[in-house]
Amino acid sequence: MSSPGAQRLASKGLLLQVPTGYRGHWLSDPSDRALVEDWTLRSPERTIYSTPSYVNFAREQNGRGDLLWLTREGSPVLGLPVHPLGRLRIGTGYSGALFAEGQRDAPQRRGVAALRALLAANVRLGFEVLQSAQSPAYDDPARVTSLALLLASQRLVGPPLYSRILDIEPLGGGSIAGPDVSSELLLEHGLRPYQAELRNQVRQAVRHGLRASCSLPGNDAELSVAYTEFTPLHTESWRRTGMTPHRLEYWTALARAILDGGGQDMVVYAREDDGAAVAAVTCHLHGDRALYWAGASNERGLAARANPLCLHAAIQACRQLGVRHFELGRFDARETSPKEIAITRYKAQFGGDLVRIGGFRTRPSTGAAVLARALEMVSGARWRLSA
């Protein structure tokens, strides 16, 4: 087991100081792994993104990443996914801080005290701790409110993040082959909560001859087939907006991590009469929750309103699979990017409720930030001299 003091994260030399009076336990430490997994599984704040398979996926993609639990007098008090963001920042990914199980707010009080001690012991680092509405904790508004108040009492507040969540009722349909996303079903079910313009776009897509298909890959061969078709759409979408797309290996590894973590990965396509896919969305399902993870389309799909057809089909498929809470994704209430604002407005057309996402961001100490910037400049200069 790890002892109090400096803890080295993975192989990149980042040191994380464990505060006095606590002991650190890492998922990557074979002697701690079983305990860390057990504490995480019991935490109401757990998500599919705090499972070992997802943490390992993040480490393989970024070279770093782990899950830390702090204990005090042998009892777990705080879990924290640790995903370095550059030299001096640590984020929790799409998960957030984890607290021990227990009644009322006592476990959260102990956890927030440990969190404050961890921040004080690592002032040279900036932290981004953002909770996830994918956790069972969000079934308990009192627990979410209690955590927000405890963080605020320590002046750990902001940013103003929200997520739009659709509470959906189960829907019969489907077969052993998978959920029913036929045009007939999509035109008869689930359109009423949407804004009128969105309903019309779904109907237009069907009139244009598009149909939906749903894939629930369960093994490596099926993952390869699903994402070999998805990746070109993703590549075209991201390049259209000036972003660097992910490769096929990224998507299959991510989907594999979701499956290995006990969830389901879903890919829904909009297809033309000849079967060619013109748009797609991916979702992650875990328990009675689902998260809309990514969307993509080509120019033909955009013109034919394929994107809303795909997302509508994904929601109806999730209803058939027992999902009750479908999350459309986070947004910052202070967002100024026209693109991000447009995406938020698009999602608003699906209805649902806005949920405040708890959490906070801190900055590294001024001296550490200046040093990191100097090191980055020196590193860049060396690269330019050697290029």
Q: 113-122, 128-137, 178-187, 372-381: which has the minimum mean pLDDT? A: 372-381
How far is CA 83 from each of CA 28, 66, 166, rounded to the nearest angstrom?
Answer: 13, 7, 29
* Statement: residue 365 has pLDDT above 90: no
**pTM of the entire predicted model:** 0.89
Q: Which of 11-15, 308-312, 382-386 has the highest mean pLDDT?
A: 308-312
CA dist 271 and 148 (Å) reads: 44
* Statement: residue 376 has pLDDT above 50: no
Ramachandran region, residue 73 (left: φ > 0; alpha: ψ -120 to 50; beta: rest) = left
Q: Where are the domains of the chain?
A: 5-158+358-386, 166-356
* Predicted local confidence at residue 223, as pLDDT: 97
Is 198 in contact with 371 (CB distance < 8 Å)? no
Residue range 166-356 forms a domain whose CATH class is: alpha beta
* Statement: residue 381 has pLDDT above 60: no
User: What is the residue-averaged pLDDT of the chain?
Assistant: 90
Percent of the chain with pLDDT over 90: 82
* Predicted local confidence at residue 62, as pLDDT: 83
* Predicted local confidence at residue 382, as pLDDT: 32
* Predicted local confidence at residue 246, as pLDDT: 96
* Statement: residue 139 has pLDDT above 60: yes
The DSSP bridge partners found for residue 198 are: none
CA dist 154 and 150 (Å) reads: 7
- CATH label, 5-158+358-386, candidates 3.40.720, 1.10.1740, 1.10.3470, 3.40.630: 3.40.630
Percent of the chain with pLDDT over 70: 90
